[in-house]
Copies of this chain bind each other. A is one copy, B any other.
Amino acid sequence: MGLLVVGSVALDSTRTPFGKVRDALGGTAVNFATAASYFTNVGLVAVVGSDFPRKHVEFLKRRGVDVSGLYFAEGKTFRYSSSFGYDLNDRTTIDTQLNVFEGFQPEIPEHLKRSEFVFLAPILPELQLSVLDQVESLKFSACDTMDFYIEGYRADLLKTIASVDAMIMNDSECRQLADEPNLVKASRVVLSMGPGIVIVKKGEHGALLFTSESCFSAPAYPCEAVFDPTGAGDAFAGGFMGHLARTGDLSDANIRRAVIYGTVMASFCVEQFSVAGMASLTQNDIDARYRDLKEISHFEL
């Protein structure tokens, strides 16, 4: 099948009450691809600067990620610096240096144009559309976005949203996009924009999946050791899309399963800085948490 992700590769500096890292491997495409690599073959399209450490490329290769679409440009890699308070819910952005990411024009390598599953991480909506245009045998596409694009590029974003099969957003973005505080109503507004599936990520409160016919509420994994929430949403998307690409099954039951796999991957992501929590998992680790989530959400009629 093949799964393609287009997004950012970054060097993250993060400070939480439990520690800090500087210039650690990060970015939406990295967290997505690392999570998805446990499920299927992933191709990554992104840009980094000439300062990007080779060891990070080697990490992605070891995870089986196809990095033939990882372009090295003159200049510095995208850097993102943030801090979290004690409760880890509110992120404070300290500094964003787009650097080479600012001029990013995603060019999909020929062999990756045949990817059937595509995830558009948050980049300029017109670039997201250009990716869809380049892909030749699309079976299922999903898109994430962020406040900056909802605010400043709404017209373009609506075109992208109308072109994808699924929107995956966090709760505040969903409310902002729909201009509606009630999440259930807001999700229906986003459905009316075109995609058949809307997924709302709620962090420690789990996720909601809406289609025109059904609603699914997924529990969060009850993590006691949340260390760094950075990348959790991208890891969620990676588990979700990875499972769909692995199975090729787009039934409602399987899409629900995919949401649970997304939840599992996000739970590993938050337990360590950067991609460390997802660096060396086994299928058993993943399946055990899947079964835990089944147990945790079970009740009888």
| A193 close to B (CB within 8 Å) | no
Binary interface encoding of chain A residues 199-217 relative to chain B, with 1 for a CB under 8 A from any of its CBs, else 0? 0001011101000001111
A217-B301 Cα distance, complex, nearest whole Å? 16
B185, B204, B222, B253: the one within 8 Å of A224 (CB):
B185
| A300 close to B (CB within 8 Å) | yes
| A297 close to B (CB within 8 Å) | yes
Kindly list chain B residues whose C-beta atoms are within 8 Å of the C-beta of A260: 299
A188-B225 Cα distance, complex, nearest whole Å? 13
Q: Please tell me which stretch of A53-61, A114-122, A152-160, A176-184 contacts chain B, meaning at least 4 of its Cβ atoms lie within 8 angstroms of it.
A: A176-184
B297 contacts A301, CB within 8 Å?
Answer: no
Q: A87-B181, A202-B205, A206-B205 are in contact. Are A257 and B299 (CB under 8 A)?
A: yes
A219 contacts B217, CB within 8 Å?
Answer: yes
Q: Considering only CB atoms, which chain B residue lies closest to A181 in the complex? A: B87
Name A59-104 residues within 8 Å CB distance of B: 86-88
B299 contacts A216, CB within 8 Å?
Answer: yes
| A294 close to B (CB within 8 Å) | yes
B175, B226, B294: the one within 8 Å of A301 (CB):
B294
Q: Considering only CB atoms, which chain B residue lies closest to A89 in the complex? A: B181
Nearest CB of B to A223, in Å: 7
B215 contacts A222, CB within 8 Å?
Answer: yes
Kindly list chain B residues whose C-beta atoms are within 8 Å of the C-beta of A295: 214
Q: A86-B181, A181-B86, A204-B183 are in contact. Are A216 and B300 (CB under 8 A)?
A: no
Kindly list chain B residues whose C-beta atoms are within 8 Å of the C-beta of A257: 299-300
Nearest CB of B to A207, in Å: 11
B216, B220, B299, B300: the one within 8 Å of A218 (CB):
B299
A224 contacts B182, CB within 8 Å?
Answer: yes
Nearest CB of B to A4, in Å: 26
Interface centre among A184, A256, A297, A299 (most CB of B within 10 A): A299
B87, B208, B253, B299: the one within 8 Å of A299 (CB):
B253
Q: Considering only CB atoms, which chain B residue lies closest to A208 in the complex? A: B222
Kindly list chain B residues whose C-beta atoms are within 8 Å of the C-beta of A224: 182, 184-185, 188
A261-B162 Cα distance, complex, nearest whole Å? 39
Mind listing 27 A-B residue pairs with CB under 8 Å? A87-B175, A87-B181, A88-B181, A182-B226, A184-B224, A185-B224, A188-B224, A202-B205, A205-B205, A206-B206, A208-B222, A215-B296, A216-B297, A216-B298, A217-B296, A217-B297, A218-B299, A219-B219, A219-B297, A253-B299, A256-B298, A257-B300, A260-B299, A290-B301, A291-B301, A294-B301, A297-B297
- A-B pairs, top 9 by smallest CB distance, nearest first, are A217-B219, A87-B181, A205-B205, A256-B299, A184-B222, A184-B224, A217-B296, A215-B222, A185-B224
